[in-house]
Amino acid sequence: MTRFGRVVAAGCLALAAVAASACTPTDVQRTVPSAVAPTPGPSSRPAATGLWHPDGAPGTLAQGLASPWSVVAVDGGALLSQRDDGAILELAPTGRVRTVGAVPGVVSGGESGLHGLAVLVDGPESWLYAYHGAQDDNRVVRMPLRGQPGARTIGDVEVVFSGIPRANTHNGGRLAFGPDGYLYVATGDARDTDSAQDPHALGGKILRLTPDGEAAPGNPFDGPVWSLGHRNVQGLAWTADGTLWASEFGQDTWDELNRIEAGGNYGWPVVEGPDDREGMIGPVAWWPTDEASPSGIAAIGDTVFIAGLRGERLWVVDTAGGELAGEPFAVLAGEQGRLRDVVAAPDGALWILTSNTDGRGDPRPEDDLLLQLRVTPAT
């Protein structure tokens, strides 16, 4: 596989204990409202520019999900992960949802399990990447992605990168291929706070790898680490100007949206939230933890969208040149419960995963959902 394959989608997922081999595809939901079935379209589209804001109420693309963690667009449909059973689901262009298989070797527990997903198309080959908790560590694996939309299968698993520290909480988990063709991996400090400041440790970092799992050329610390001083990053996205953004869980006071620079030190555990400490980079935006607990993020044009778990809302952050271009505002506050992931769909909408069945929020009667939210240019 060449280093710079064509990246068509990236995202994250968290899942738990899984079967030791791929399971037989089965339907998990037989009906989807046709008015909001996924819009067929090309696997890529011209990049949006400018600022974009939500327009209207969300529609439901899929329901009956259990602890979903990540969604990634593929050929007019989507692949989704479920944290606690390790399953990979497919939302076909027709609206049908089926189980593709399970990622072998996933060991769930606490906040660990199957996390981020990313898809890489390299010539005739397609690969599904996944971040998951194993028995003693967190790791990145990949599997061949085969078949046509509505009939996807996954092949044998290959370990791409291992040895990322694992704990009951603070496991990170997001994967995303960047504009440079390299794989970015968000890790947590795994409750070893001091390791976040060690440029040679893997916890509390954003890593930058080749698709084969080697340290990408040009990394600042002669290894896989791209940035350090993170507590628990679960969101990665690039705005149209090429800026990398990351969402980060704070401890007791402030959650953060950070502009990521090569070799940047984002302060944890020395600093939480805004601070002008020499040699450390403060967040561009921050919120009290009960208003955010940010997980997945997406970017359309120069607007960043942040899914809030405890905050139960979607934050909208307009940017320009890596800085705020207006006051952040929230939509969907309290309407859908906890939000785990948000991604930019090929048709220009946002896809949003809820997270109300993972035992972390108040019990709710409904299963988790995949929602679609339209956006329009900001005026």
Question: Which has the minimum average pLDDT: 34-48, 117-131, 195-209, 230-244?
Answer: 34-48
pLDDT at 250: 95
pLDDT at 33: 29
Q: Are 83 and 14 in contact (CB under 8 A)?
A: yes
Higher pLDDT, residue 17 or 187: 187
pLDDT at 10 over 70: no
With a pLDDT cut of 90, the percent of the chain lying above it is: 82
pLDDT at 115: 98
The answer to whether position 85 is within a domain reads yes
The answer to whether position 349 is within a domain reads no
Which amino acid, one-letter code, is at 60? T
Q: At 24, is the pLDDT very low, low, confident or very high (cuts 50, 70, 90)?
A: very low
pLDDT at 349 over 60: yes
With a pLDDT cut of 70, the percent of the chain lying above it is: 85
pLDDT at 76 over 50: yes
pLDDT at 359: 55
In the structure encoding, which two tokens stand for residue 284, read together? 């561009």
pLDDT at 77: 92
The answer to whether position 301 is within a domain reads no
The answer to whether position 323 is within a domain reads no
CA distances in angstroms from 160 to 131, 182, 185, 254, listed in the order given: 10, 13, 12, 33
Q: What strand order describes the sheet that includes 87-91?
A: 27-29, 97-102, 87-91, 77-82, 68-74
CA distances in angstroms from 351 to 11, 113, 197, 268, 325, listed in the order given: 11, 22, 34, 31, 24
E strands, 178-243, in order: 183-186, 206-209, 225-227, 233-238
Angle formed at CA 238 by CA 232 and CA 244, multiple of 5 degrees: 55
Backbone φ and ψ of 204, nearest 5°: 70, 40
pLDDT at 47: 75
Q: How many domains does the chain have?
A: 1
pLDDT at 139: 98
Q: Which residue has the tokens 């400018």?
A: 50
pLDDT at 128 over 80: yes
pLDDT at 30 over 80: no
Give the CATH number, domain containing residue 284. Answer: 2.120.10.30
pLDDT at 374 over 70: yes
pLDDT at 57 over 50: yes
The answer to whether position 80 is within a domain reads yes
Mean predicted confidence (pLDDT) in 85-107 = 95
User: CA-CA distance, 342 to 299, in Å (whole number)?
Assistant: 9
pLDDT of 192-232, one tens digit each? 999 999 999 999 999 999 999 999 999 999 999 999 999 99
pLDDT at 123: 87
The answer to whether position 339 is within a domain reads no
pLDDT at 360: 53
pLDDT at 14: 30
pLDDT at 112 over 90: yes
pLDDT at 98 over 80: yes
Question: Which has the minimum average pLDDT: 25-39, 53-67, 114-128, 297-311?
Answer: 25-39
Q: What is the mean pLDDT of the chain?
A: 88
pLDDT at 357: 86
pLDDT at 121: 93
pLDDT of 169-179, one tens digit each? 999 999 999 99
Give the predicted TM-score (pTM) of the model: 0.89
Give the domain extent around 188: 6-45+68-294
The answer to whether position 145 is within a domain reads yes
Please identify every residue annotated as catalytic: 170
The answer to whether position 211 is within a domain reads yes
